Amino acid sequence: MSRANGTPYAPHTDDETAAMLAAIGVDDEEALFDIPEAVAFDGEFGIEPRTEREIRDECARIFGRNDDLTEFLGRGHYGHYVPSVVDHLADRAEFLTSYTQYQPEVSQGFLQALFEYQSMLVELTGLDVANCSMYDAATALGEAATLADRVRSTAGDTVLVPEQLREGKRAVLENYCAGADLTVETYPMADGTADVDALADRAGEDVVMLYAESPTVRGCIEERLAAIGDLADETDALFALGSDVVALSVLESPAAVGADVVVGEAGSLGLPTAYGMGLGIFACSDEFLRQVPGRLVGASEDADGARAYTLTLQTREQHIRKERATSNICTNQAWVALRAAIHAATLGPDGLVDLANDSVREAAALAERIDDLSGAAAPVHDRHHFREFAVRVDQPAEAIAADLEGEGFAVHAIDDHLLQVCVTDLNAGETDGLVAAFEEVL
Amino acid sequence: MSRANGTPYAPHTDDETAAMLAAIGVDDEEALFDIPEAVAFDGEFGIEPRTEREIRDECARIFGRNDDLTEFLGRGHYGHYVPSVVDHLADRAEFLTSYTQYQPEVSQGFLQALFEYQSMLVELTGLDVANCSMYDAATALGEAATLADRVRSTAGDTVLVPEQLREGKRAVLENYCAGADLTVETYPMADGTADVDALADRAGEDVVMLYAESPTVRGCIEERLAAIGDLADETDALFALGSDVVALSVLESPAAVGADVVVGEAGSLGLPTAYGMGLGIFACSDEFLRQVPGRLVGASEDADGARAYTLTLQTREQHIRKERATSNICTNQAWVALRAAIHAATLGPDGLVDLANDSVREAAALAERIDDLSGAAAPVHDRHHFREFAVRVDQPAEAIAADLEGEGFAVHAIDDHLLQVCVTDLNAGETDGLVAAFEEVL
Amino acid sequence: MIHDQANYEREGEDVREPLLSEKGQETVDVREDSPLPDDLTREELTLPNPSEPETARHYTRLSQMNWAIDAGPYPLGSCTMKYNPKFTEDVAADPNAAIHPDRSARSAQGNLELQYRLQEVLAEIGGMDAVTLQPPAGAAGELTGILVAKAYHEHHGNDRSEVVIPASAHGTNFATAATAGYDVVELPSGEDGRVDLEALEAAVGDDTAALMLTNPNTVGLFERDITEIAEVVHDAGGLLYYDGANLNALLGRGRPGDMGFDVMHYNVHKTFATPHGGGGPGAGPVGVVDELAPFLPTPRVREAAEGSGYERFEPAHTIGKVHGFAGNWLVSIKAYAYVARLGDEGLADAAAKAVLNANYLAERIDLDVPFGPFHHEFAATAGDRDAADVAKRMLDFGVHPPTTKWPEMVPEAMLTEPTEIEGQSSLDDLAEAFNLAYADTDEALDAAPNRTAAGRIDQVGAARNPRLSWQALDGE
Amino acid sequence: MIHDQANYEREGEDVREPLLSEKGQETVDVREDSPLPDDLTREELTLPNPSEPETARHYTRLSQMNWAIDAGPYPLGSCTMKYNPKFTEDVAADPNAAIHPDRSARSAQGNLELQYRLQEVLAEIGGMDAVTLQPPAGAAGELTGILVAKAYHEHHGNDRSEVVIPASAHGTNFATAATAGYDVVELPSGEDGRVDLEALEAAVGDDTAALMLTNPNTVGLFERDITEIAEVVHDAGGLLYYDGANLNALLGRGRPGDMGFDVMHYNVHKTFATPHGGGGPGAGPVGVVDELAPFLPTPRVREAAEGSGYERFEPAHTIGKVHGFAGNWLVSIKAYAYVARLGDEGLADAAAKAVLNANYLAERIDLDVPFGPFHHEFAATAGDRDAADVAKRMLDFGVHPPTTKWPEMVPEAMLTEPTEIEGQSSLDDLAEAFNLAYADTDEALDAAPNRTAAGRIDQVGAARNPRLSWQALDGE
Ligand SMILES: Cc1ncc(COP(=O)(O)O)c(C=O)c1O
Ligand SMILES: Cc1ncc(COP(=O)(O)O)c(C=O)c1O
């Protein structure tokens, strides 16, 4: 009972292969392929198979080529300490190696976990409905725009976003808007948050969606969200609010400031720093229930009358509604949502609020220390900050950032003389080093 | 619903604690302790609680103080590459966080896994019975001696072991023998294996157990096991053979050479290099079934007539037979046995035999290269070697070993001018470096 | 085989494992300790606060109430549920790979190198010239590809408004075309289950931006006329998009690039065995021919000047971005590790065994399979039985049923894709489950499943009275 | 609660998940490729050769057919089944700790430091002066401790032949004393379930090497006369051995050293929450007072001359070794991490909650508890029911039953130790399971369990006709 060379992940012994071919009535596997010769491939990819151990070594070598820097980076992607229990539970094969829950009777576990995730987001946003994930904050924003396009019967086609917005997020939004014939325009910022007066001038019938963020990309907590919401309301534009799952635990409830939709990032819970991999939040009010993109888990009953969970309202989705679906999304970030939910459960509301409060306190404290250095001023904006803040430097920002890298620290250079610095529980213990490095290079 | 400071692993909220105390009818937990004041402790241990993350950092720092050496160490503890799947499966909480299978109906999974482990050992040893683990090779040897004491009615009380035996193994054996009033004596070795002629002279009625190893502690494959077995037979001594789970896959079957008991190490499968942590093999012939130490899993039927597994022959064990038990062992190495079984399954007989053959080939090849160097001769013994071999050096062995350590390599210094070098799949890729280092320091 | 799924039930209360919220919540006064002024904060936050042992037990129990590929066969057609090699998890967990996406290229050479290497092997496997790893799933890859096609047409002054899609295509194809702003032209299936060339010629024209096709198609049939199809589309000035969901059947035997496809996505959570995770994360890298490379999302990764490693660059006419950062990075790592493990031989063998398995299983079941010769999957028909009911009954026999009622061209379809990872005995288990369920009484089918954690679930009720959070259950 | 355990069954064949051997074995011709001469090798080797997907599925299914602390309550009396914090696994998996035991001390400073630190905290917690980490389990710790006592006596020219052990003690105490070559003197329990001082005085004498005691004892009662007990034994020249299995009740409230114990083992897989692993690996470090320190196993670890780290040393009159190397190292690491996580407060709280839980649960059940006041565990009596049957029935209610029929001083004992990790609601679940089972009909008890993977198993038959390997099943 031996196996020919081939994929190590097929169990067929040579005898079994022979028996199976005989049962089908062909001589070899080739006979089962119906590929015309003209398009058949008989070349080689040139990929040498390697052993598991070789690949582990190879990848360890490759990743070892990343410099060992202490990162003070944020701007939409945040690392917090992920408790070990998150890995251990989420890695259970029944979660990790399952598919979408098309047969709910045999998938109650994952469905309940996603239902719980949705519920946590409902609490954090104050809105009625949260889906069980989008890819990331950027695509969630794009989906919000297409939802606005469907639900708002304003004459216009403008999606109004802050002038300061992460470049990548804006670029993704543009791609979702293009297909819906929407145009992305910006409103001015004043000191890191929306210039609400200028926004009031700009708002109008052409606006189908007004988007604001808190914290903003500069880490500033928006102070006049309710006023922004009112502006949206006045012209019947959808008010979409962008935020972050940790920030939401302490900031004004989106529902309270009139948000129709909340998008943003929830991967700051559950995921390690992952090169930008994320977990998109999408929550909205009941009103838009039939227009929500993505998957929804609902409660129902089984044949015995016991509570059971199932994917629901699937007629919104591409596999049923096809080109009239609310989104093309199919595979989403379910397992990441599971991780975020476990992380949130592990923290509890206490731990989550502590984490958020520390994000405010640590940023303020670090800004103050940097401000004390000559050649730097921080925070640049006279606002409350969450995790991160801008720093004005006398010398060119790029040069300072490069010098800091030489000292072992990574920060953002966001403009000619502007840096941005992000502090979380992961690097809070390294601020002395960063301040010293700043002193060195300024 | 909050929790007072205390263990993070108790779920009690303050309210629950209060409700539970009320149900019992006491005011506080103190009231439940019945410890006379004279012996009560009201001091402090002085152990600061730390967070999970702090402890991970602390231990990483501590372990970082181990030098980063490439180890060519063996002599009873061997590291092989453990496939990732072993960790992932053995770490499943249902295995890792379960207790001994006192309720077999709800423990079929672990019982079957142990039954399979026993079966693999039966195949590898050729003997009828294998238990589901001892602590390690040394304690297994000790248990073999006490079994010999129980089953052999020879007049004598001598346990005869090779003169060259790992010191730790001998020391453990002495401790088991002392209680049974057995005396450990040695027989001479000739060129790394038993001096069978001298042994023939020494053997006699006083010998209750004759112990031989293959491979020996010097890595030599014993060539006259059957002759040694015959010597044991002649005086009705128990013939105990020590070996290693990987070596057993290719070496003469212990049953074929007349072994009554096989002890040794199985942790060379399933465990990483673990500072000597092991998995003791204990196998024997049917004859001694009621005298086996440790746990045994047997097949039986359940109420529906389906095959089921259960711990069996428990009347041998301490919890039933108390001071007349076959051993005092209770908690053993079940989870390590599970790991070894998964590893063996992953390798299959092909992979296991390949690993063993490589252990012979790599050792021979490395010895040859070291032999080519001036100032060193290897292998010292004119024998076939398994994984490891002795090297004679002109200079003091301790000094050479220390110098090699300076070059980043660890080897054993086993005598004034003798080193020992062990090569497995883990370090086989580093032999160039070792040879170069030898050249440097010789 | 018979499988009883684990279940933890509270009888009187008619619930299984209670919700985390039912196990206890805590309300925190947010303002009490807040460094922020009251008008910026919420008053309170109410969430579950289980201790770690409770959390562990909760999710362990939930997991036991969930089917998975590691529990048994999961032959969902079009989904390619392969075994996910464990070591790829360890590779992806390397802390050195866990860096921020805004790292300078100089300080992120390791990640750039892995991205580059994966781009290269994917290009090779698909017969494409350039690859982006940014799209975070198959559908996102489709959108990327169609946006690239659109940008290409626009760049050449071509305003095309239609995307042609076979009726049997996956829903994401239609939805993607719409999301990109195209009108969808649905192509009826030919009688043999393949694209009908005449219908295609009729459908394609000046307005055709692209034809989206998967090959083998969704019933596993190779589009034999692919060369002619490509000609028709190309002649009309359109582009050919390859939906990579079925690439597993082609590995080492055919490359979309060689068949005339201009742009494709790879579905790495299918073909390259990265775990589906209960619905993601996946990854949908997109490959294109040279002419389309300048339109790919930014940034891409290339080798820098000799000896200086790797660098990011912006393609000349980039469509911008389709993900906020670099896509689902952890998934990319796992895909790389998988491809490296198999190599040329292993990849070709995966396709061979996948096709062998599908054909063997089809041979073993009593249901009809209307179309052929199929490759890695087949659509059996449940005939006058309800495919969904047959599927529910199959759950009692220790297997997951196939995809049901899709594609529509097969009545009561049971679209089955065992993949290469099932051996003969588990295929026999699957066949037995098919046959027992198919032959069972109407009553048995109605009452199924019986051995799963939950009995048959009222899905109509769930949609009619949506309760989507524990807040919505309150007071029930 | 009701719990259906997962089950994978092949009906006709009357087996659950087949054995690996039944899934397929391979026979390898060992000599074909061997670098060794034929007379040194076996001819062939026959073992299962599953592919990785099959292996993963096999063990995943087996695991699902196994109860565990992460699935639910596991209140085995005397076993201290705590939650095993997950992070300790990660700490133990540090590759830097994975070194060979024969490393020079200079190159193994990290491991030596952790060993030293763990020795120190254990000494502090037990009120002992010196600790060895070498014993690989509790029973091995007992043997170490008794051998140390023996060596001590011999060193002082005292040849003593007896070890005194209360009847209620754990079987390992008796077996250990015998293994060490002592005669066992069994001490009947006093009427209050504790040591009877008069009986002790009668039992102890010139031949007494040691008294082995656990405190609280095996029904959870604190030996209030411990000072007097120590006096009696010490006056006779004997030593006092503390069996650490029940230390969880004392943490921060009493230390064996302060009570007059001379030597003790710590059962870290109980008290310090390292996973039991289905029956090990555990660890049984031994602590002693100063006079006994020279007899501890070799090597021990101490701080070296100032600033030069840690070193190994051989105690002056060492008993030698009780494990081939340094014991179960990975377990030591986890224990260290656990103790560090809890600290003083957490350890004391663990004891408090463990005792609270036992008392609360006892209050909630309908069974009598003859002795008290108990601490972390209690022995209820099933009265005229068979404790083993009641236990089997409890399995149907989503909990693991307690230890049954031990200790013998309580008729039909159900020795119950919930530990601190159960909350009120799971204690209520446990109580309900107790009460439902206890009140159930004889028929129901006989027929139980019904919801586990296997029904009631014939244990007598297993022992009468031992089949201990798949080889033994062949031809059945
Ligand atoms: C044929 C086909 N195309 C596209 C997709 C969409 O891929 P994804 O789920 O990764 O977005 C699927 C997924 O099931 C598919 O089967
Ligand atoms: C009271 C008591 N003493 C000793 C032991 C033996 O400990 P171990 O199983 O770790 O060898 C136990 C284990 O159950 C016990 O409960």
Chain segment C373-387, per-residue pLDDT in tens: 999 999 999 999 999
Statement to judge: residues A149 and A266 lie in one domain? yes
**What average pLDDT does range D189-211 have in this prediction?**
96
Does residue A97 sit in helix, strand or coil? coil
Closest residue in D to B385 (Cα–Cα) = D36
Closest CA of chain B from D57, distance in Å? 9
Give the start-end residues of each E strand in B286-399. 297-301, 307-311, 376-377, 388-393
Torsion of CA D201, D203, D209, D213, to 10 degrees: -80
Cα separation, B31 vs D429, in Å, equals 25
**What average pLDDT does range C241-258 have in this prediction?**
97
User: What is residue B102's DSSP assignment?
Assistant: S
The full set of domains in chain C, from first to last, is 87-340 (3.40.640.10)
- Cβ <8 Å between D425 and C70: no
- Residue B254's pLDDT is what? 98
pLDDT in tens, C72-126: 999 999 999 999 999 999 999 999 999 999 999 999 999 999 999 999 999 999 9
pLDDT in tens, D62-116: 999 999 999 999 999 999 999 999 999 999 999 999 999 999 999 999 999 999 9
- Residue A1's pLDDT is what? 42
Closest CA of chain B from C87, distance in Å? 5
Q: Does A83 touch chain B (CB under 8 A)?
A: yes
Exposure string for A161-181, b = 16+ CB within 10 A, e = fewer? bbebbbebbbbbbbbbbbbbe
Give contacts of A105 with chain C, Cβ < 8 Å. Answer: 392, 395, 449, 452-457
The pTM for the full model equals 0.98
Cα separation, C456 vs A302, in Å, equals 5
Give contacts of D398 with chain C, Cβ < 8 Å. Answer: 8
- Residue B3's pLDDT is what? 62
Q: Are D346 and B49 in contact (CB under 8 A)?
A: yes
> From the candidates C11, C42, C471, which should be mutated to test the interface with A, based on the most A CB atoms within 10 A?
C42
Report the percent of chain A where pLDDT is more than 90. 95
If one counts the domains in chain A, the total is 3
- Residue B233's pLDDT is what? 95
Statement to judge: residues A366 and A330 lie in one domain? no
Phi first, then psi, for residue C193 (nearest 5°) are 85, 0
Statement to judge: residues B110 and B207 lie in one domain? yes
Residues 9-28, chain A, touching D (beta carbon < 8 A): 9-11, 13
Closest residue in B to C88 (Cα–Cα) = B84
Dig out the tokens for B124 from the structure. 């590898």
Statement to judge: residues A421 and A361 lie in one domain? yes
**What average pLDDT does range C385-391 have in this prediction?**
98
The pLDDT confidence band at residue A25, using thresholds 50, 70 and 90, is very high
Q: Which of A322, A341, A360 delimits the end of a domain?
A: A341
CATH code of A422's domain: 3.90.1150.10
Q: Which contiguous run of DSSP H or E holds residue C59?
A: helix C52-64
pLDDT in tens, D270-289: 999 999 999 999 999 999 99
CATH code of B300's domain: 3.40.640.10
pLDDT in tens, C134-170: 999 999 999 999 999 999 999 999 999 999 999 999 9
CA distances, C88 to each of C125, C271, C338, D375 (Å): 20, 15, 7, 48
Statement to judge: residues B325 and B208 lie in one domain? yes
- Residue A183's pLDDT is what? 97
Q: What is the pLDDT of chain B when averaged over all its residues?
A: 96
Nearest to D86 among A2, A85, A94 (CB): A85
Question: Closest by alpha carbon to D111, among D333, D313, D339?
Answer: D333
DSSP B103-167: SGGG-HHHHHHHHHHHHHHHHHH--SEE-S-BS-HHHHHHHHHHHHHHH---S--EEEEESS--H
Query: Is A63 part of any domain?
Result: no
The pLDDT confidence band at residue C475, using thresholds 50, 70 and 90, is low
Q: Are B175 and D320 in contact (CB under 8 A)?
A: yes
pLDDT in tens, D408-420: 999 999 999 999 9
- Residue B1's pLDDT is what? 42
Tell me the sheet residues that pair with C286. C132, C265
Question: Closest by alpha carbon to A422, among A353, A377, A367?
Answer: A367
Closest CA of chain A from B104, distance in Å? 24
Nearest to C90 among B9, B13, B84 (CB): B84
Query: Is B121 part of any domain?
Result: yes
Report the greatest alpha carbon distance in chain B: 83
Closest residue in B to D319 (Cα–Cα) = B175
Query: Is it the case that residue B2 has pLDDT exceeding 70?
Result: no
Query: Around Cβ C348, how many Cβ atoms within 10 Å?
Result: 21
Q: Does D326 touch chain B (CB under 8 A)?
A: yes
- Residue C10's pLDDT is what? 86
Does residue C295 sit in helix, strand or coil? helix
The pLDDT confidence band at residue D476, using thresholds 50, 70 and 90, is low
Cα separation, D228 vs B36, in Å, equals 12
Q: In what order do the strands lie in the sheet with A376-377?
A: A376-377, A388-393, A418-422, A412-415
Cα separation, A207 vs A200, in Å, equals 12
Q: Which of B341, B360, B375 delimits the end of a domain?
A: B341
Query: Is it the case that residue C281 has pLDDT exceeding 90?
Result: yes
Q: HSE of B191 in the Cβ direction (CA atoms, 13 Å)?
A: 12
Phi first, then psi, for residue A394 (nearest 5°) are -70, -40
Tell me the sheet residues that pair with A422. A388
Exposure string for A280-293, b = 16+ CB within 10 A, e = fewer? bbbbbbeebeebbb
Q: Are D299 and D290 in contact (CB under 8 A)?
A: no
Q: Does C18 touch chain B (CB under 8 A)?
A: no
pLDDT in tens, C45-67: 999 999 999 999 999 999 999 99
CA distances, D83 to each of A416, D68, D350, D394, D421 (Å): 54, 10, 12, 21, 6
Does residue A209 sit in helix, strand or coil? strand
Which residues form the pocket of ligand 2, taking CB atoms under 6 Å from any ligand atom? Answer: B 330-331; D 78-79, 137-139, 170, 172, 214, 218, 243, 245, 267, 282, 284
User: First CA to last CA across chain B, in angstroms?
Assistant: 70
Of all ligands present, the nearest one to the C-alpha of B327 is 2
Closest CA of chain C from B5, distance in Å? 12
CA distances, C173 to each of A102, A132, A319, C75, D100 (Å): 20, 22, 9, 22, 57
Query: Is it the case that residue A152 has pLDDT exceeding 90?
Result: no
Query: Is A395 part of any domain?
Result: yes
Write out the residue range of the structural domain in which residue A36 sits: 14-58
Statement to judge: residues A135 and A183 lie in one domain? yes
Residues 31-60, chain D, touching A (beta carbon < 8 A): 49-54, 56, 60
Single-letter code of the amino acid located at D277: G
Exposure string for B140-164, b = 16+ CB within 10 A, e = fewer? bbbbbbbbbbbbbebebbbbbbbeb
Statement to judge: residues B376 and B431 lie in one domain? yes
Query: Is it the case that residue A365 has pLDDT exceeding 70?
Result: yes
Establish whether residue C170 lines the binding site of ligand 1, counting it when its CB lies within 6 angstroms of any ligand atom.
yes
pLDDT in tens, B338-371: 999 999 999 999 999 999 999 999 999 999 999 9
The pLDDT confidence band at residue D11, using thresholds 50, 70 and 90, is confident
The residue behind tokens 């062949």 is D474
Query: Is it the case that residue C297 has pLDDT exceeding 70?
Result: yes
Of all ligands present, the nearest one to the C-alpha of D331 is 2
Cα separation, D306 vs D308, in Å, equals 6
ipTM reported for the complex surpasses 0.85: yes
Query: Is B279 part of any domain?
Result: yes
Cα separation, D337 vs D341, in Å, equals 6
Given CA atoms B192, B195, B196, B202 in this order, what sign does their dihedral have? Answer: negative
Q: HSE of D45 in the Cβ direction (CA atoms, 13 Å)?
A: 35
Q: Does A93 touch chain B (CB under 8 A)?
A: yes
Query: Is A7 part of any domain?
Result: no
Question: Closest by alpha carbon to C91, among B338, A64, D54?
Answer: A64
pLDDT in tens, D392-435: 999 999 999 999 999 999 999 999 999 999 999 999 999 999 99
Establish whether residue C165 lines the binding site of ligand 1, counting it when its CB lies within 6 angstroms of any ligand atom.
no
Query: Is A3 part of any domain?
Result: no
- Cα-only R_g, chain A: 25
Give chain D's length.
Answer: 476
**What average pLDDT does range A353-375 have in this prediction?**
98
Statement to judge: residues A120 and A180 lie in one domain? yes
Tell me how far the alpha carbon of residue D195 lies from the centroid of ligand 2, in angstroms. 19
Q: HSE of B142 in the Cβ direction (CA atoms, 13 Å)?
A: 33
Cα separation, A92 vs A105, in Å, equals 19
Statement to judge: residues A37 and A179 lie in one domain? no
- Cβ <8 Å between C3 and D4: no
Dig out the tokens for B91 from the structure. 């770490």
Statement to judge: residues B170 and B280 lie in one domain? yes
Cα separation, A167 vs A169, in Å, equals 5
Phi first, then psi, for residue A358 (nearest 5°) are -65, -35
Statement to judge: residues B279 and B307 lie in one domain? yes
The pLDDT confidence band at residue B156, using thresholds 50, 70 and 90, is confident
Q: Which of A341, A373, A389 delimits the end of a domain?
A: A341
Does residue B241 sit in helix, strand or coil? strand
Tell me how far the alpha carbon of residue C430 lies from the centroid of ligand 1, in angstroms. 24
Tell me how far the alpha carbon of residue B331 lies from the centroid of ligand 2, in angstroms. 7
User: First CA to last CA across chain A, in angstroms?
Assistant: 70
Burial status of residue C186 (CB atoms within 10 A of its CB: 0-12, 13-18, 19 or more) = middle
Question: Closest by alpha carbon to C380, among C391, C399, C365?
Answer: C365
Q: What is the pLDDT of chain C when averaged over all its residues?
A: 97
Give chains near A: 3+ CB pairs under 8 A.
B, C, D
Statement to judge: residues B393 and B250 lie in one domain? no
Does residue C151 sit in helix, strand or coil? helix
User: First CA to last CA across chain D, in angstroms?
Assistant: 39
Query: Is B319 part of any domain?
Result: yes
Please list, in sequence order, all residues whose beta carbon lies within 8 angstroms of the beta carbon of residue D241, skipping any fewer than 6 positions away: D142, D145, D146, D149, D210, D211, D212, D213, D261, D262, D263, D264
Give contacts of C6 with chain D, Cβ < 8 Å. Answer: 3-6, 64
Query: Is B4 part of any domain?
Result: no
Query: Around Cβ B65, how many Cβ atoms within 10 Å?
Result: 17
- Cβ <8 Å between A93 and D51: no
Atom of ligand 2 nearest to the CA of D142: 4
DSSP C416-460: E---TT--HHHHHHHHHHHHHHHTS-HHHHHH---SSSS-SB-HH
Cα separation, A18 vs A11, in Å, equals 13
Question: Closest by alpha carbon to A83, among D87, C63, D340, D84?
Answer: D87
Q: What is the pLDDT of chain A when averaged over all its residues?
A: 96
Q: Which contiguous run of DSSP H or E holds residue C313?
A: strand C310-313
- Residue D357's pLDDT is what? 98
Of all ligands present, the nearest one to the C-alpha of C219 is 1
